Structure 1
Amino acid sequence: MVFANVGTLGTVAGKRDELVALLIRRSDALSHVGCLLYEVGINDHEPDTVYVVELWTSADAHRASLALPEVQASIARARPLLTGDFGGFEFDVVGSPLRDL
């Protein structure tokens, strides 16, 4: 079953674009562990927030990605850009009008 992780990341004032640049760096490793979609977005009405939408082959695949050295290095680089204000939710996808499951 497809697993979705949707979240917001609060950034230090003026560091949003730096975090976005880090998050959108190409990573073939993510697809190899089961990432189906990883989209990063912004909203100028909330200039210190980054939005992330992820789809994974499973919750286990998502957890496994967090152990990858490449992901650990990205987290370490991102930490100084973050305020610690995180939001979001996770769910198991049960269907879509765009594709068969």
Structure 2
Amino acid sequence: MPLDYILALGAFLFCAGLFVVITRKNAIMVLIGIELMLNAANLNLIAFSSFDTQALQGQVFSIFVITVAAAEAAVGLSIVVKVYKYFQTADLDKINDLKG
């Protein structure tokens, strides 16, 4: 498969994730959009790494990105659960108070 097609798929996934982050008001949907953007970046890293048989830096770096994304998802979801308990909503427009 040509590199152009894989990079176009990565760009499409990144734009779809960015669209979700910008347009959605639900905190969980925003987290899903961020995960989609991180996966698009991983796809590009692995695509570039696969076209050079000696270079493994892209694959190694994508493992680190996957690890950070998993930690971000766990921390993000725990924050969303706490915010939901306090405000009784996951709508980002309605969450405008910080408890001091």
Query: TM-score band, normalised by the shorter chain?
Result: under 0.3
Question: TM-score normalised to the size of structure 1?
Answer: 0.26
- The structure carrying a bigger helix percent of its residues is 2
Higher RCO (Cα < 8 Å, 6 or more apart): 1
Larger Rg: 2
Q: Give 1 or 2: higher strand fraction.
A: 1
